[in-house]
Amino acid sequence: MLLTINIWKGDVVAESDIMVSIQHLSKSFGETEVLRDVNVDVKRGEVVVVLGPSGSGKSTMLRCINLLEKPTGGHIYIEGEEITGANTNVDKLREHVGMVFQQFNLFPHLTAKKNVMLAQRKVLKRSAQEAERIAIEQLGRVGLADRADFLPSQLSGGQQQRVAIARALAMDPHVMLFDEATSALDPELVRGVLDVMRSLAEAGMTMVVVTHEMGFAREVADRVIFMEGGVIVEEGTPTEVFDHPKHNRTKDFLGHIK
């Protein structure tokens, strides 16, 4: 898969090296505390993989980054701008934060190309020609140039998820969030999606990835975060976390996964 975008890597390091800064983030649903004092900084071009058992708060943390969930406490900054303040422009924020979900959520009535075009037209107000050009470019990037005119129902789950990635990329995001993007896929389809994610990482995209794919985490992550019970238990390089975990809970989790 050939990638054309290289602007993130080594672009602006001087101004601000921190792409996403999560400070003392907490989130409760009623009485239930889902996140407790979570602190994460994601550098520009960095790939952070978040691991943890279900219910550990990792998806909620991800959703707080583009305010799909409203934090109960703490601060989040994206490219130096606080998004948890009172007068955040949510639409503006979401333009720069792409997200891919476990369910592919394509528009069932639109072809792959139209799926990638729609938000460009409606949200970014791009012209039809420009949106189409970018859609074809992004579909090529995820290896689906020849499926541009197919409906979601005519595509495999893995192909649908790649269209969803192309749709997010077409919005020129500065950071991409992946929420268990391969969990709903049959095993044989997981690989194609992971390959796309890997090539994105290699092209220097800033990524926060919630996944259960340990192989991907080990190979692609710059940093691995292990969460449980709404707190960050341990973080470090893949080698540190996978080969020399310090905490028993991490060891237990990795033991279960293996």
Partner 1 sequence: MKRDFLRKIGGYVFAVVFIVAGWWLTAIVLNSPALPTPAETIRVLAGNVDVLVPYFWTSAYRVVVSLLVGTLLAVPIAQVCAHSRTLDALFAPVLYLLYPIPKVVLLPILLVLLGLADAPKIVLISLTVFFQVLVAVRDAVRAVPESAELAVRALGGSAWDEYRHVALPSTLPAVFTSLRIGVGTAIAVLFIAEAMAGSTGLGYFIMQSWSMVNYPRMFAGIIAMALLGVVLYAVFDLLERSLARWR
Where on the chain is the footprint of partner 1 (CB under 8 A)? 63, 66, 68, 91, 94-95, 97-99, 101-103, 105, 107-110, 118-119, 122-123, 151-153, 164, 167-168, 171
Minimum distance of partner 1 from residue 21's CB (angstroms): 20
Q: For residue 27, what are its two tokens?
A: 């989130």
Cβ proximity to partner 1, 154 vs 239, nearer residue: 154
Q: Which candidate, 169, 175, 41, 19, places its Cα nearest to that of 97?
A: 175
Amino acid (one-letter) located at 216:
F
Contact of 155 with 147, CB cutoff 8 Å: yes
Minimum distance of partner 1 from residue 183's CB (angstroms): 12
CA–CA separation, 84 and 67 (whole Å): 8
Cβ proximity to partner 1, 123 vs 257, nearer residue: 123
Minimum distance of partner 1 from residue 66's CB (angstroms): 6
Cβ proximity to partner 1, 68 vs 231, nearer residue: 68
Minimum distance of partner 1 from residue 63's CB (angstroms): 8
Cβ proximity to partner 1, 135 vs 232, nearer residue: 135
- DSSP class of residue 153? G
Cβ proximity to partner 1, 10 vs 108, nearer residue: 108
Residue in the structure block whose two tokens are 């993130």: 8
> Cα-flanking dihedrals φ and ψ of residue 188, to 5°?
-75, -10
Minimum distance of partner 1 from residue 96's CB (angstroms): 10
Q: Which phi-psi region, left, alpha or beta, contains residue 129 (left: φ > 0; alpha: ψ -120 to 50)?
A: alpha
Minimum distance of partner 1 from residue 253's CB (angstroms): 25
CA–CA separation, 212 and 110 (whole Å): 30
Cβ proximity to partner 1, 172 vs 219, nearer residue: 172
Residue in the structure block whose two tokens are 């290289």: 6
User: Cα 204 vs. chain centroid, distance in angstroms?
Assistant: 13
Three-class DSSP category at 131: helix
